[in-house]
């Protein structure tokens, strides 16, 4: 063993320890490893170390992040969820199953974390209506989004990373649907397990884990991992930070439900002309089923109905006083036939401007707004900003329409306006808090965003253009059509993940250049090859599954990919079967809650660490058995053909 080989292997061990213990952010750890590969002579030159950051893989991933943002910002995924909720609204168990199937279907083309975040509120609502514990719904939802990672090349960033590295070793990149035969079988069998068997294995978790115990510490680690692995700013980022759900819905004293530590807002919605809800009873409307808004009052022709019954029949023009989370209030824009009343009174250009933002703001103790109503202080006329919702701070205050509610210190306002107008509000009267713009999709642009996304995929699959070029082509189209702003395009990219991938590409290059990959391959061949090439494939799958639990999926794949290829070369067999074993195994992250999709459901579901081991263990076995049986069928383990 040479010094260079020993040095790289020592760095590999250090990387595994740092990744597993979460001592530093993953991107920081990977940058330190990159520097340590450049500093000694004969390891990597600066050009070799930095080559990964300018690779086609990085360009493809950046483009995919932006196109995915176009889909989410225009509400395509949310619309799909609302449609499912409408179809199965009277069958909550069926609705939950439809959500899981939809989640895994969408996740075949969009990031699994984005899909989970978009479907999470509907899953919570359906489990509530079905009187099913959240723990039995949310974990299957997260697992369903991960399952379809082998359906297309863009299902996960791991597939793209592996595909982008293959030309370096003289191998063809992975085709767009090359993995689909196995990926579809894995998805179908896994979904059968999640729909019918997994709920029986998941314990009922109604309360939060012991805040002083190991589970709470793991939750904190998981939240940190979420921030580092996937810097997502889209729907439902808050539940990751929120307290776990209480045993029963808690109230703040005046009947306002504080769901999972998230505040609710009062707002007014109006049934627009031709609304499909007109003529239906309140109980039959989609407000409670799809958007999870509670109607607390109705005003019709100047007459007010307080606490209307479910049998109350709605008419066109009715003004409903509703309450719900900020996300649910903003989701009204995706529902046909209803409009947020303040928005309904504004002109379309006011709403479609790319500079319009939605933020939360708190009324400060010395504010001049205290004691007056929004109508009294002429809030819209003075500020140019519209109040979409109001959260009252005191439990004793009655719920009134926005224009008649007197403001007090601590009240929260959900605001909509142009960026410059909102920025001027941050002062003595109001303190600006969280930007909610990501929860307010540009629905009229949904068709354009969908066509751009589908068009890019078609151009890539038909090989009219390379995948990187077809995806990159969609970015200027989304910006020119105002589906996304330039700022939103930059914000949508997980730059930390790009740093991680670029650095780990350098690590893979170092393992090949120094001979460390050859050394590990020879070690593996010496001890495992006597049992046959098939045993080597099984060994690589098992080792990758183990490594991908504490490490990121991409890092695990990039570490083992050169070892797998050099092992195949030493055995004189085609390397593609081993490459596919590493690729499929790298996305098999079901044993711990550190996968970003699992982090999103960890708190709301009240899970403990071994809940994932119990349920994810059998799912891992299913993926393992299907993969190791089918990989040799589609990529035979045969000797390398003579040139």
Reply yes or no on whether the pLDDT at 309 is more than 90: no
- 382 in a structural domain: yes
Cα-based angle 224, 229, 235 (whole degrees, multiple of 5)? 85
What pLDDT is recorded for position 642? 56
- Pairwise pLDDT comparison (99 vs 439), residue with the higher score: 99
Strand pairing report for 386-391 and 412-418: antiparallel
Specify which residues 434 forms β-bridges with.
none
More confident residue, 417 or 78: 417
User: Beta strand 356-363 with 412-418: parallel, antiparallel or unpaired?
Assistant: antiparallel
For residue 195, give the nearest of 112, 139, 121 by alpha carbon: 139
Q: What average pLDDT does range 18-47 have in this prediction?
A: 83
Cα–Cα distances in Å, from 194 out to 152, 200, 206, 511? 21, 10, 20, 39
Q: How far apart are CA 551 and CA 546, in angstroms?
A: 9
**What is d(CA 556, CA 224) in angstroms, rounded to the nearest whole number?**
19
Q: Are residues 285 and 410 in the same domain?
A: yes
Q: Is residue 598 part of a domain?
A: no
Say if residue 320 is in the same domain as residue 387: yes
**Residue 112: is its pLDDT beyond 60?**
yes
The radius of gyration of the chain from alpha carbons, rounded to an integer in Å, stands at: 26
Q: What's the CATH number where 334 sits?
A: 3.30.70.1450
CA distance 325 to 332: 11
On whether residue 581 sits in a domain, the answer given is no
Is the confidence at residue 216, as pLDDT, over 80?
A: no
Whether 345 has a pLDDT exceeding 70, the answer reads: no
- 299 and 176 share one domain: no
Q: Answer yes or no: is pLDDT of 625 > 90.
A: yes
pLDDT band (50, 70, 90) for residue 247: very low
Residue 441 is predicted with a pLDDT of 53
Whether the CA torsion 116, 119, 121, 124 is positive or negative: it is negative
Q: Look at residue 559 and tell me whether its pLDDT is greater than 60.
A: yes
Kindly state the average pLDDT of the residues 141-161: 90
Same domain, yes or no: 277 and 425: yes
Q: Using CA atoms, how far apart are residues 176 and 333, in angstroms rounded to an integer?
A: 35
Quick one: 199 and 269 in the same domain?
no
pLDDT of 387: 84
254 band by pLDDT with thresholds 50, 70 and 90 = very low
Quote the tokens at residue 2.
Answer: 């040479």
Q: Domain for residue 574, yes or no?
A: no
Q: Say yes or no to pLDDT of 242 above 50.
A: no
Q: Which residue has the higher pLDDT, 180 or 294?
A: 180
| 280 and 415 fall within a common domain | yes
Is a pLDDT exceeding 80 seen at residue 432? yes
Please name which of 415, 349, 426, 353 lies closest in space to residue 384, comparing C-alpha atoms.
415
Give all strands (DSSP E) within 586-630, no chain letters. none
- Confidence class of residue 22 from pLDDT cuts 50, 70 and 90? low
Query: How far, CA to CA in Å, does 193 sit from each of 127, 317, 321, 382, 586?
Result: 19, 47, 42, 58, 20
Is 12 inside any structural domain?
no
Name residue, tokens 């939809």.
Answer: 102
Q: Are residues 275 and 197 in the same domain?
A: no
Q: Which of 4-8, 12-16, 192-196, 548-552 has the lowest mean pLDDT?
A: 548-552
Q: Is pLDDT of 181 > 90?
A: yes
| Residue-level pLDDT at 643 | 54
Most confident of 156-165, 411-420, 581-590, 622-631: 622-631
- Over residues 593-617, mean pLDDT: 80
Considering the domain architecture, whether residues 281 and 375 belong to the same structural domain is answered as: yes
Instruction: For residue 82, tell me if it sits in a domain.
Output: yes
- The pLDDT score that the predictor gives to residue 398 is 64
277 and 421 part of one domain: yes
**Nearest one of 448, 628, 435, 471 to 536, comparing CA atoms:** 628
- Rounded to whole angstroms, how far apart are CA atoms 35 and 37? 5
Lowest mean pLDDT among 71-75, 235-239, 465-469, 557-561: 235-239
pLDDT at 86 over 70: no
pLDDT, tens digit (0-9, with 9 covering 90-100), for 370-389: 888 888 888 888 888 888 88
- Of 227-236, 418-427, 462-471, 574-583, least confident by mean pLDDT is 227-236
Lowest-confidence region among 151-165, 223-237, 260-274, 279-293: 223-237
Boundary-marking domain end, from 166, 181, 205: 205
Q: Quick one: 330 and 435 in the same domain?
A: yes
> Residue 632 CA to chain centroid, in angstroms?
33
CA distance 291 to 323: 11
Distance CA 188, CA 48 (A): 42
Identity of the highest mean pLDDT range in 242-256, 405-419, 622-636: 622-636
Mean pLDDT across the stretch 595-616?
80
Tell me the C-alpha distance between 604 and 206, whole Å: 10
Q: What is the pLDDT of residue 200?
A: 86
Count of domains in the chain? 2
Distances (CA, A) of 408 to 262, 377, 572: 20, 13, 76
**What range defines the domain where residue 101 resides?**
75-205
If asked whether residues 275 and 143 sit together in one domain, one would say no
Distance CA 515, CA 536 (A): 20
Torsions phi, psi for 45 (to 5 deg): -80, 160
Q: Is 81 among the domain residues?
A: yes
What average pLDDT does range 173-197 have in this prediction? 93
Query: Per-residue pLDDT tens for 513-538?
Result: 888 878 877 787 788 878 888 999 99
Alpha-carbon span 483 to 441, nearest angstrom:
9
The answer to whether residues 270 and 147 belong to one domain is no
Evaluate if residue 592 carries a pLDDT over 80: no
Strand partners, 295: 322
Least confident of 133-142, 254-263, 336-345, 387-396: 254-263
pLDDT band at 286 (very low <50, low <70, confident <90, very high): low
Tokens matching residue 262: 């998230």
**Residue 355 neighbours by CB distance under 10 Å:** 12
Residue finishing a domain among 406, 439, 472: 439
pLDDT cut 70: percent of the chain above it: 77
Q: Which DSSP category does 639 fall into?
A: B
Which of the listed residues 158, 187, 205 is the one where a domain comes to its end? 205
Nearest CA among 231, 159, 181 for reference residue 467: 159
Q: Is residue 145 part of a domain?
A: yes
Q: What is the mean pLDDT of the chain?
A: 77
The answer to pTM > 0.95 is no
Greatest mean pLDDT range, 9-23, 150-164, 408-422, 491-505: 150-164
| Whether pLDDT at 239 is above 60 | no
């Amino acid at each position: 063993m040479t010094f260079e080989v020993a040095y790289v292997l020592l760095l590999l061990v250090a990387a595994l320890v740092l990744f597993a213990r979460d001592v530093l952010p993953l991107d920081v750890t990977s940058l330190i490893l990159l520097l340590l590969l450049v500093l000694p002579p004969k390891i990597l030159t600066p050009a070799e170390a930095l080559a990964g950051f300018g690779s086609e893989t990085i360009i493809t991933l950046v483009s995919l992040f932006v196109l995915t943002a176009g889909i989410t910002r225009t509400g395509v995924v949310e619309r799909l969820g609302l449609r499912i909720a409408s179809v199965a609204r009277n069958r909550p168990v069926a609705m939950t199953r439809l959500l899981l199937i939809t989640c895994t279907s969408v996740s075949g083309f969009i990031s699994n974390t984005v899909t989970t975040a978009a479907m999470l509120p509907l899953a919570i609502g359906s489990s509530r209506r079905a009187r099913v514990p959240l723990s039995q719904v949310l974990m299957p939802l997260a697992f369903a989004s991960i399952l379809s990672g082998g359906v297309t090349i863009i299902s996960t960033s791991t597939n793209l990373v592996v595909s982008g590295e293959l030309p370096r070793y003289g191998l063809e990149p992975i085709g767009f649907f090359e993995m689909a035969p196995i990926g579809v079988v894995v998805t179908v069998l896994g979904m059968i397990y999640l729909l019918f068997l997994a709920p029986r294995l998941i314990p009922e978790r109604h309360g939060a884990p012991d805040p002083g115990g190991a589970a709470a510490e793991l939750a904190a680690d998981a939240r940190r991992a979420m921030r580092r692995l996937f810097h997502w700013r889209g729907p439902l980022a808050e539940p990751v930070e929120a307290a776990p759900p209480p045993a029963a819905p808690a109230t703040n004293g005046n009947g306002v439900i504080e769901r999972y530590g998230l505040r609710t807002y009062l707002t007014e919605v109006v049934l627009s002309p031709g609304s499909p809800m007109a003529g239906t009873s309140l109980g039959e409307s989609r407000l409670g089923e799809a958007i999870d808004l509670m109607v607390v009052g109705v005003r019709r022709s100047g007459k007010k109905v307080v606490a209307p019954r479910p049998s109350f029949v709605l008419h066109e023009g009715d003004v409903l006083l509703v309450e719900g989370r900020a996300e649910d209030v903003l989701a009204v824009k995706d529902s046909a036939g209803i409009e947020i009343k303040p928005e309904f009174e504004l002109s379309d250009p006011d709403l479609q401007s790319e500079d319009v933002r939605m933020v939360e703001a708190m009324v400060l103790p010395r504010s001049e707004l205290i004691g007056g109503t929004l109508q009294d202080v002429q809030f819209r006329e003075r500020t140019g900003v519209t109040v979409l919702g109001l959260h009252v701070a005191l439990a004793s205050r009655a719920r009134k329409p926005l224009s008649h509610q007197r403001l007090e210190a601590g009240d929260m306002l959900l605001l909509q306006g142009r960026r410059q107008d909102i920025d001027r509000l941050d002062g003595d009267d109001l303190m600006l808090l969280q930007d909610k713009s990501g929860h307010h999709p540009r629905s009229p642009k949904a068709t354009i965003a969908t066509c751009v996304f589908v068009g890019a995929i078609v151009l890539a699959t038909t090989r009219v253009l390379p995948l990187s070029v077809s995806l990159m082509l969609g970015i200027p189209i989304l910006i020119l059509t105002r589906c996304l702003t330039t700022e939103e395009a930059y914000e949508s990219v997980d730059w930390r993940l790009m740093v991680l991938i670029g650095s780990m590409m350098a690590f893979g290059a170092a393992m090949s250049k120094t001979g460390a990959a050859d050394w590990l391959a020879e070690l593996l061949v010496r001890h495992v090859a006597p049992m046959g090439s098939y045993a080597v494939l099984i060994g690589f799958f098992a080792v990758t599954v183990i490594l991908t639990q504490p490490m990121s999926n991409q890092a695990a794949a990039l570490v083992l990919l050169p070892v797998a290829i050099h092992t195949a070369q030493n055995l004189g067999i085609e390397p593609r079967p081993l490459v596919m074993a590493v690729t499929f195994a790298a996305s098999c992250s079901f044993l711990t809650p550190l996968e970003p999709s699992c982090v999103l459901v960890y708190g709301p579901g009240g899970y403990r660490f071994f809940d994932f081991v119990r349920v994810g263990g059998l799912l891992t076995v299913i993926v393992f058995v299907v993969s190791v049986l089918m990989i040799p069928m589609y990529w035979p383990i045969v000797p390398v053909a003579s040139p």
